[in-house]
Amino acid sequence: MTPTSQNKMFGGTQSVYAHRSKACDCDMRVAVYLPPQALNKKAEHAPCPALVWLSGLTCTEENFTAKAGAQRVAAELGIILIAPDTSPRGDHVPDDKNSYDFAKGAGFYLDATQEPWAKNYQMQTYIRDELTAWMLANFPIDSKRIGISGHSMGGHGAITLHLKNPDLYKTCSAFAPITSPSQVPWGRKALKGYLGENQADWAQYDATELVKTPSQANILIDQGTDDNFLTEHLRPEIFSDACAKSGQATILRMQEGYDHSYYFIATFIEAHLRHHKNVLG
Amino acid sequence: MTPTSQNKMFGGTQSVYAHRSKACDCDMRVAVYLPPQALNKKAEHAPCPALVWLSGLTCTEENFTAKAGAQRVAAELGIILIAPDTSPRGDHVPDDKNSYDFAKGAGFYLDATQEPWAKNYQMQTYIRDELTAWMLANFPIDSKRIGISGHSMGGHGAITLHLKNPDLYKTCSAFAPITSPSQVPWGRKALKGYLGENQADWAQYDATELVKTPSQANILIDQGTDDNFLTEHLRPEIFSDACAKSGQATILRMQEGYDHSYYFIATFIEAHLRHHKNVLG
């Protein structure tokens, strides 16, 4: 398997790969950071924990890789970082060129049922099944020590995938996540567009609905108070109220003065990696 | 003075400003990171050290700011980071659209004498005089505790500006610098284009010539062994030989397997900031 790019970083390797997704009927790009511990030839006998990172609207696999500064901490803790793209790609994949918040760059980590999106926009199946199989087949990852995190739309993806698959994603954290998509404009546009008008079909992708069945994990959320999208699209209080009701352990930290950017993520990524590592071991 | 963008990061603020350069006859953009220590109201009475960062070919003020991860360490050490753009900008500024290594994005931190470049490409005067005056006037910087660093073309800028102005830039470091521009293609193209055919005029911008008069500083250089530009454009051995002859203290660290990217810079930026802080105090 040949990476499309590879750079040494903090003693490990930061690579980008393309691999075939049957679910999305396209090639998907994935950024993979292997810490020094995973390059050790003994690593296949003592596999590493991994963190899957899901990015937000308009992002690709590159944003987290170039801007978050996560590799430094991953190298210290021996965590493999897996950062997939945010939607199917390719000229044959339908797009909505007038929207930054729908179609390409905005797959919302769900399986679309509506045309013309259903043929390619199968991001839940891709991330949960295909990406997992691919990363376990190709890197020295301990399948029992996988966590998931993400930003904004990717925070929505991380929390919903964790709550539905707690045996696969043992730990979960998020930065400024969309946590009640059925109730906010970004979420409603996506859920309606990909899944249709029937709101009963939306619940499986709404963290506030899913958390009624809590997980064993302690979900860490950081949210900036100066985030432009806080009161319209993110609304973490809806989710934290639902967590309190259901008994889901959650730490929601409102970070004074921080915004929605990767400067915010870079500031707190170390705490998130340690949160995952503490449980995954 | 109003920034064009401002983001909270590691308890400090990462901002971008535009200010007028008479020397370049254009507005220049500068990225400024103020660590928490500089936001303290007492900071003007106990000013902070500052590090000026000069970027490489094709870069703007943004590359270092978004990708190097320097702010984390700057916040710890209380260092103000000043990252200017790499050339004059604007529709009225002449460009060479067929070159990535000349004109816009490639000012080479010198004062051009040849037309049509001389009117705007006065980057040495801009960085040394105008940027210094602007940053001292606007931020709580201790004028006696300024260091300079940079990457590639910016490493060339950092070393030459330090060697010519050791009282202004007390400390110096570089990543993969162009250290003997008179002898390599990138350098020869720039020196000939901006300064003309007379090679006697080039020496004031050639670190290998300038180091014949050594500085008191200990110049730290990191250079990746897998850098694609190493043997054609960078050639640090020419400079380190000249340092050995002149008595200039220099640490040249060949970093096994690292390339020319910001992934390389991110890996070693902490060591560089500590190198500067150790001397600047």
A71 touches chain B (CB under 8 A): yes
Instruction: Give me the mean pLDDT over the A272-280 stretch.
Output: 98
Tokens coding B245: 């002859």
pLDDT (tens digit, 9 = 90+) per residue, A106-134?
Answer: 999 999 999 999 999 999 999 999 999 99
Per-residue confidence (pLDDT) for residue B218, from 0 to 100: 96
Answer whether B9 sits within 8 Å of A69, measured CB to CB: no
Question: Does residue B134 contact residue B28 with C-beta atoms inside 8 Å?
Answer: no
Question: Which two three-digit tokens encode residue A44?
Answer: 């296949």
pLDDT of residue A42: 77
> Is B260 one of the annotated active-site residues of the chain?
yes
pLDDT exceeds 90 at position A43: no
- Residue-wise pLDDT tens digits, A204-236: 999 999 999 999 999 999 999 999 999 999 999
Model pLDDT, residue A41:
79
- Burial string for A128-148 (b: 16+ CB within 10 Å, else e) reads bbbbbebbeeebbbeeebbbb
Q: How do residues A62-91 score in pLDDT, each as one tens digit?
A: 999 999 999 999 999 999 999 999 999 999
- Would you say residue B42 has pLDDT above 80? no
Give the integer Cα–Cα distance in Å for B255 and B224: 5
Which amino acid, one-letter code, is at B183? Answer: Q
Q: Which residues in chain A have Cβ-Cβ distances shorter than 8 Å to B263?
A: 7-9, 14, 71
Position B141 scores a pLDDT of 97
Out of A8, A226, A262, closest to residue B259 by CB: A8
Complex confidence, ipTM: 0.94
Phi-psi region of A175 (alpha: psi -120 to 50; beta: other; left: phi over 0): beta
Mean pLDDT of all residues belonging to chain A: 97
Q: Pick from A67, A105, A57, A14: which is nearest to A264 by CA?
A: A67
pLDDT at B44 over 90: no
pLDDT tens by residue, B3-32:
999 999 999 999 999 999 999 999 999 999
Shortest Cα distance, chain A CAs vs residue B98, angstroms: 26
Average pLDDT of A174-193? 98
Whether A99 has a pLDDT exceeding 80, the answer reads yes
Task: Please report the pLDDT score of residue B90 as a whole number.
Answer: 97
Rounded average pLDDT over B144-163 = 98
Q: Is B137 on the interface with A (CB under 8 A)?
A: no
B45 vs A: CB within 8 A: no
* Catalytic hit among B87, B149, B152, B240: B152
Mean pLDDT of B117-139: 98
The per-residue pLDDT for range B214-269, each reduced to its tens digit, is: 999 999 999 999 999 999 999 999 999 999 999 999 999 999 999 999 999 999 99
Ranges of beta strands (E only) in A185-238 are 219-224
CA dist A225 and B96 (Å) reads 45
Cβ distance of A7 and B69 shorter than 8 Å: no
The CA–CA distances, whole Å, from A222 to A83, A263, A272, B194 equal: 19, 13, 9, 50
As a whole number of angstroms, the distance between CA B16 and CA A261 comes to: 15
